[in-house]
Structure 1
């Protein structure tokens, strides 16, 4: 999971989302706002809605590769995910900064699971099924938001064996609790993803070796640019980012990146 670029919405689309959100905000009762927000989002998040056609197109631009899920980077991201769950935060149902594209396993698994940081403590605010619809406890979101934060400031990948996503070493207690919560909620270490990251690691390394060999054999700039672009289109760009970050500590990667220093400047 990487920090996302943020393509701007056309003014008309932003205005329409604001109009949709105003309809929700005008309702005084919190429980009624939640119910209305969920209903209106369901009816408007369709392929026939001109506003959401643009929203989906912009979300697709934010994905890596062939529209990969922003969270796991493996499955197709085709569900509009609310980073702050609409079941808890009706005031953000139609807020553009609250959207990303996620896959079914990540979006369905996360659902309305959420937590906040209150006075240095992580407080779960997920509403149990059948519980009264009341506002969540106040606090800053614990879930790492890839639209406003750099997930790599919190998370790392074990490239030397397990390919687990883990909290970075040296985090303060609050940051570490946020990292663990995000990993758990998204189930980022399910077996399928461990295998996929390992395969991506091998793929990136092989493509970089190919680039090095073709460059040293005198390939022209067009061929080299095509090889670079193919590498950057490989799924799991966080693996690539981690390869660059960890290269000084892994001899085989260090040698490779020293031989191809320009790769350090390639965008993830």
Structure 2
């Protein structure tokens, strides 16, 4: 994951979401708000709904390549995902900041699974077991790294030398480490061979693109052609691989030489 870019959205979209949210918030009890959140979102999240047409367009602009999932960065995103689940946080069911575009293989297993970090530093699941009373979740820091509001690179580093797994960046026992481990687990970022192989392939593709840029630049290519090469690189899938290559290039001598030849690439 990478931190998702800011995108301008029309005020009409935000006003429409706020109107929908007021319907949910007007319910008398928490249980009623949860039920209303689910029914209202199902009714509103339609391709024919102009508010959600704008929501989907804005979420698409945040994605890389051909609308890649904002969690795994590999599969095509086709679901409006609630980062904080609507089953637990009905007050955020129509919160624009609580949305991202995700793929089914990421969204479905995550579902309403969620956890918080308590005041004592313990990670506590807050998802509601089937048949349990519909009561509000306990408070605490949300455990899942939120790429809308946080930079996942502050919590995770990607091993681009060997395993191509995401690894917690913080010291063992810290809240940041617990959040990193939880995020990787709940999204199965290291448990799907297809994702690991996709990152490995992306590493080679990014390296080849950078080599091509250097070759064309040194050969006197026009600025327009170089800009197209840069744009192509920046629109590739698995942008977390590129972000880690820029951060950790010294660990891979063959790509370090490329960045030495093209230091401007560190700003792409």
Q: TM-score, normalised by structure 1?
A: 0.97
Conserved? CA contact 1:3–1:146, under 8 Å: yes
Compute the displacement of 1:69 (Å).
0.3
Q: Distance in 2 between matches of 1:83 and 1:115?
A: 12
Q: Distance in 2 between matches of 1:160 and 1:105?
A: 26
Q: Distance in 2 between matches of 1:125 and 1:99?
A: 20
Q: Distance in 1 between matches of 2:219 and 2:19?
A: 58
The residue that corresponds to 1:162 in the other structure is 163
Superposed CA offset, 1:13-32 (max 9, x none): 11111110011111121111
For structure 1, the residue ranges without an aligned partner over 5 or more in a row are none
Q: Which runs of 4+ in 1 moved over 2 A?
A: 169-172
Compute the displacement of 1:250 (Å).
2.1
Conserved? CA contact 1:154–1:171, under 8 Å: no
Compute the displacement of 1:68 (Å).
0.3
* Correspondence list, 1:89-108, <5 A: 89-108=89-108
Conserved? CA contact 2:161–2:251, under 8 Å: no
Compute the displacement of 1:116 (Å).
0.7
CA RMSD of aligned residues (A): 1.1
Q: 1:94 to 1:169 in 2, by over 3 A?
A: closer
Q: Distance in 1 between matches of 2:98 and 2:25?
A: 16
Q: Distance in 2 between matches of 1:182 and 1:250?
A: 26
Q: How many residues align?
A: 266
Q: Distance in 1 between matches of 2:86 and 2:150?
A: 20
The residue that corresponds to 2:186 in the other structure is 185
Superposed CA offset, 1:66-122 (max 9, x none): 100000000011100000000100000001000000000111011001111111211
Q: TM-score, normalised by structure 2?
A: 0.97
For structure 2, the residue ranges without an aligned partner over 5 or more in a row are none
